[in-house]
Amino acid sequence: MTEEILRMRGITKRFPGVLALSGVDLGVKRATIHALVGENGAGKSTLMKILSGVYAYGDFEGEIEFDGEPAQFKNIRDSEAAGVVIIHQELALVGELSIAENIFLGNEQKNRGVISWDRTNTEAARLMRQVGLHDNPATLVEKIGVGKQQLVEIAKALSKNVKLLILDEPTAALNDTDSENLLELLRTLRDEGVTSIIISHKLGEVLAVADRITVLRDGQSIETLDTEADAVTEDRLIKSMVGRDLEHLFPPHEPKIGEVFFEVKDWTVHHPEQRDRVIVNGASLNVARGEIVGLAGLMGAGRTEFAMSLFGRSWGSNISGTALMDGKPLRLRNVPEAIDAGLAYATEDRKHYGLHLEYDLRENFTLPGLGKLSKRGVVDQDGINTVSERLRKEFGVKAPSVYQLAGNLSGGNQQKIVLGKWVFTEPELLILDEPTRGIDVGAKYEIYELIQKLVDQGKGVLMISSELPELLGMCDRIYAMSAGHITGQVDRENATQEELMRLMTLETASGGEELRQ
């Protein structure tokens, strides 16, 4: 028994023309929780894909030693046989099947080829107890919450006699209670001898649960810290991850704020299927010309639902409330009306809702504004070409030509296309939903500059973001949302992470009270 269960040495991985990992070293001690942190694009997922055999041995340079032996995993099956199990953020569960069936999916409990439901269910119940899941094994996975689904995944891993459990952003979709339960489970498993590697962006959580932390930056392993021996703080980690001062994350900006031109009053939205469920409850806010207004809130607070319901009723049912522009009520019954009214909504989910990945820049840039480029329904092809080329340059999209497919670009460049396509519709109010999600620091800076340029032209921006530092760095005023209510607003001078967090976590009833006072 060596002290280290895993040792990766000099791991280098190239994609065509790109060095994704460069000589990364990673050592993980037996029966510990090891955190892997770094910015998006630092190479965390790539490293874990190599470890779990998604990238076959031979596709990369370097050596892996697992459990005292050299490991040469050719696929996921190999790595699972050795006891390495990876749980992706996107859970690999089948909603229509029961918990028990999911636990033994691909590893069915059978006697001579016939599935033994008895053993499936009793074994599942045992594993479920081990992870603290007290549901009926026959319950369908789609009926339980994300937190419990996460536990099903871990039970599934335990059924495979896992020695090293890899969790990719396990708490990203969980609420605080579920997150705490999950972390507690990891501690229990550690005491039982299971080693975990956890990838997380939540540094507080990392510091709370990890025994050791490895920082990756730009495809290189920067350092490995011991949370007990070294005095590790969040600031210390951030500095190591970013490699530059926080001061320079946001471009300097002198706001030129005009009059309030956009107002929403008493906006209420119900769930599209469960029509009696209120998702947004009497929300009111306003935006002035030249102003960047933030909308903060935890997952499930109703921010995206608010924005999408406003944008031509793209989400929800039973929508009520008024939206005013320059004092005049707006008709927003569908997306074309919302666009005509001067609204634009850049989605948080570029790939699924924002872009046509199989189409080139021209098609993507001009889709919402196609009406401006056509006469009596006939499209002006030359106009499309000229406009696209102009937008490509204006927004600094790094693509060799406008014929490039959107799907071939990086996240940052895709986001610039999304911005470009909405700016071309000449909106008065741009709603940006997580405009920098999954984008590296350099591209973020460029996106911030573009946003500032827009408000300097007298437009208004409503910016939804889960990253509080981003809201604090960019916004002139920030609203906080909690469970469908707008629980308060703070201006730039008085905004702190603590104050926002307090508003974001206010109980709904009192939250409504506070706003009315």
Site for other proteins in 235-274 (CB under 8 A): none
Would you say 412 or 511 has its CB closer to other proteins? Answer: 412
Per rule CB under 8 A, is residue 115 in the interface with other proteins?
no
Would you say 47 or 454 has its CB closer to other proteins? Answer: 47
Query: Shortest approach of other proteins to residue 101 CB, angstroms?
Result: 20
Query: Shortest approach of other proteins to residue 20 CB, angstroms?
Result: 5
- The rounded distance, in Å, linking the Cα atoms of 208 and 190 is 14
Size of the site for other proteins (CB under 8 A): 82
Which one of the spans 43-51, 129-137, 261-269, 325-333 is the region binding other proteins (CB under 8 A)?
43-51
Both tokens of 17, joined, read 């023309």
Both tokens of 29, joined, read 């001690």
Which one of the spans 86-94, 207-215, 241-249, 284-292 is the region binding other proteins (CB under 8 A)?
86-94
Would you say 142 or 235 has its CB closer to other proteins? Answer: 142
Would you say 267 or 311 has its CB closer to other proteins? Answer: 311
Per rule CB under 8 A, is residue 88 in the interface with other proteins?
yes
The β-bridge partners of 29 are 4
Per rule CB under 8 A, is residue 224 in the interface with other proteins?
no
Per rule CB under 8 A, is residue 215 in the interface with other proteins?
no
Per rule CB under 8 A, is residue 129 in the interface with other proteins?
no
Smallest Cα–Cα separation from 166: which of 50, 48, 78? Answer: 48
Which residue in the set 359, 453, 508, 514 belongs to the binding site for other proteins (CB under 8 A)?
359
Q: Would strands 164-168 and 84-87 be described as parallel, antiparallel, or unpaired?
A: parallel
H or E segment at 329?
Answer: strand 328-329
> Strands across the sheet with 164-168, in order?
84-87, 164-168, 195-199, 33-37, 212-217, 220-226
Per rule CB under 8 A, is residue 381 in the interface with other proteins?
yes
Per rule CB under 8 A, is residue 445 in the interface with other proteins?
no
C-alpha triplet 282, 285, 290: angle, nearest 5°: 165
Q: Please, which of residues 20-39 interact with other proteins by CB under 8 A?
A: 20
Q: Which amino acid is at 159?
A: S
Q: Please, which of residues 384-403 interact with other proteins by CB under 8 A?
A: 385-386, 388-389, 398-403
What is the rounded (10 degree) CA torsion for 171, 176, 181, 185? 30
- The rounded distance, in Å, linking the Cα atoms of 189 and 227 is 19
Would you say 233 or 401 has its CB closer to other proteins? Answer: 401
Query: Shortest approach of other proteins to residue 352 CB, angstroms?
Result: 5
Half-sphere exposure of 263 (CA within 13 A, CB side): 11
Which residue in the set 4, 57, 78, 353 belongs to the binding site for other proteins (CB under 8 A)?
353
Which residue in the set 382, 498, 516, 517 belongs to the binding site for other proteins (CB under 8 A)?
382
Contacts of 426 (CB under 8 A, 6+ apart): 342, 369
Query: Shortest approach of other proteins to residue 146 CB, angstroms?
Result: 7
- The rounded distance, in Å, linking the Cα atoms of 316 and 502 is 27
Q: Please, which of residues 309-348 interact with other proteins by CB under 8 A?
A: 311-312, 314, 334-336, 338-339, 345, 347-348
- Sort 13 into a burial class: Cβ within 10 Å, 0-12 / 13-18 / 19+: buried
- The rounded distance, in Å, linking the Cα atoms of 319 and 333 is 10
Smallest Cα–Cα separation from 152: which of 172, 124, 118, 122? Answer: 124
Query: Shortest approach of other proteins to residue 148 CB, angstroms?
Result: 15
Per rule CB under 8 A, is residue 116 in the interface with other proteins?
no
Per rule CB under 8 A, is residue 18 in the interface with other proteins?
yes
Q: Which amino acid is at 209?
A: V
- The rounded distance, in Å, linking the Cα atoms of 194 and 199 is 16
Contacts of 484 (CB under 8 A, 6+ apart): 278, 279, 280, 281, 283, 301, 302, 508
Would you say 11 or 127 has its CB closer to other proteins? Answer: 11
Query: Shortest approach of other proteins to residue 465 CB, angstroms?
Result: 14
Per rule CB under 8 A, is residue 12 in the interface with other proteins?
no
The β-bridge partners of 264 are 285, 323
Query: Shortest approach of other proteins to residue 388 CB, angstroms?
Result: 8
Query: Shortest approach of other proteins to residue 271 CB, angstroms?
Result: 16
Per rule CB under 8 A, is residue 501 in the interface with other proteins?
no
Per rule CB under 8 A, is residue 170 in the interface with other proteins?
no
Per rule CB under 8 A, is residue 411 in the interface with other proteins?
yes
Instruction: Spell out the SS3 assignment of 139-207.
Output: CEHHHCCHHHHHHHHHHHHHHCCCCEEEEECCCCCCCHHHHHHHHHHHHHHHHCCCEEEEECCCHHHHH
Which one of the spans 17-25, 207-215, 478-486, 493-501 is the region binding other proteins (CB under 8 A)?
17-25
Both tokens of 7, joined, read 């040792």
Query: Shortest approach of other proteins to residue 363 CB, angstroms?
Result: 7
Q: Please, which of residues 172-191 interact with other proteins by CB under 8 A?
A: 172-173
